[in-house]
Amino acid sequence: MLKRLFPDPFIGWMIGAVLLASLLPVRGVAAAALDAATLAAIFSLFFLHGVRLPREALVSGLTDWRLHAAILASTYLVFPVAGLALANLFPGLLSPELWAGMLFLCALPSTVQSSIAFTSMARGNVAGAVAAAAGSNLLGVFLTPLLVGLLLSAQGTQVSFSGIWNIVATLFLPFILGHALRPLLFPLIAGRPRLTTFVDKGTILLAVYGAFSAARVEGLWSRIPPVDIAAVIGLCLVLLALILVATVAIGRFGGFSRESRAAILFCGSVKSLASGVPMARILFPGAAAGYVILPVMLFHSFQLIVCAWIAARLAAQNSPAMERT
């Protein structure tokens, strides 16, 4: 039962970080020290991403341009349009802070590990998924803060352009540095998979704990009634359903092969928690990050559950035994 609700045990760790921040939030000097540690962890995270990413994955992204254009359009066009449409249709359903979180979610890049894993499970175009996920995350360093600024401006909320520069300095520069040092460092990193897993998940937990600590000090839970949390859950599910329908339509009407349709479905319908939480901590300082991260965490949980089920169904339909019958 627990595995069905939480296919990734890390979801439980994130819930634990939220509960810990709600019960034991950090304040004052401790909060400043945690912010510094979180920024250092974010730098390390994207440095390791640069070390791990094969240059071939970036180059291969240029070969099947139709596939990658379809995935990028879903990630950075269909998602934002759907989010903005929901915000305009139901403006009073959420507070401005939670709508900012929903729109921020729509501007995030695709996941790397999950989208590739689901594409592989469904016997789809894994090479295309690898290149698309890598390209989405690299472009997201620039596109996400710009899209967030545009989406929130349309809602009457402003994002400081200094936050965009902070994203580039904190995420893109360490990525480039790590990629430049890849020939020297990759043999060391490749033999220590637990190190990269520890940095990946540890960074997210630090950022989640810090964001919800600041939000708890500012009275987050007293400001978000249960009905608003239920509304966020409902909107996340509606958004996921819309995007799944859109990615299926893009794959079918675009004339893509079955393997490429699977890559479009799973790369185009998921959003990166690993990139989203650090970006939220930089773009939305203090308690605001807690409001913004909440929809990202909820959507991440739902996308894992729903996409795992879809991938299993596609795997059964596309199994060698089925293909011979």
290 inside domain = yes
- Which conformational region is residue 192 in: left (phi greater than 0), alpha (psi within -120 to 50 degrees), or beta? beta
Q: What is the CATH number of the domain that holds 181?
A: 1.20.1530.20
Q: Give 260 or 158, the one with higher predicted confidence.
A: 260
Q: Supply the range of the domain harboring residue 286.
A: 11-316
77 inside domain = yes
Which pLDDT value is given to residue 75?
95
98 inside domain = yes
Q: What is the pLDDT of residues 81-108, one digit of tens each?
A: 999 999 999 988 998 889 999 999 999 9
Q: What is the pLDDT of residues 233-245, one digit of tens each?
A: 999 999 999 999 9
Please answer whether residues 94 and 235 qualify as being in contact, where contact means their C-beta atoms are separated by less than 8 angstroms.
yes
Q: What is the pLDDT of residues 250-290, one digit of tens each?
A: 999 999 999 999 999 999 999 988 788 888 888 887 777 78
Average pLDDT, the chain: 81
216 inside domain = yes
167-206 burial code (b ≥16 CB/10 A, e <16)? beebbbebbeebbeebeebbeeeeeeeeebeebbebbbbb
Q: Smallest Cα–Cα separation from 10: which of 237, 310, 277, 314?
A: 277
26 three-class SS: coil
3-state DSSP helix/strand/coil percent for the chain, to nearest 5? 80, 0, 20
323 inside domain = no
220 inside domain = yes
321 inside domain = no
Number of structural domains found in the chain: 1
Which pLDDT value is given to residue 324?
45
CA distance 174 to 203: 15
202 inside domain = yes
Which pLDDT value is given to residue 238?
97
Q: What is the pLDDT of residues 168-185, one digit of tens each?
A: 677 778 878 888 888 888
Q: What is the pLDDT of residues 25-76, one digit of tens each?
A: 888 888 888 888 888 887 887 788 778 777 665 565 557 789 989 999 999 9
Please answer whether residues 167 and 283 qualify as being in contact, where contact means their C-beta atoms are separated by less than 8 angstroms.
yes
DSSP state of 256: -
CA distance 172 to 165: 10
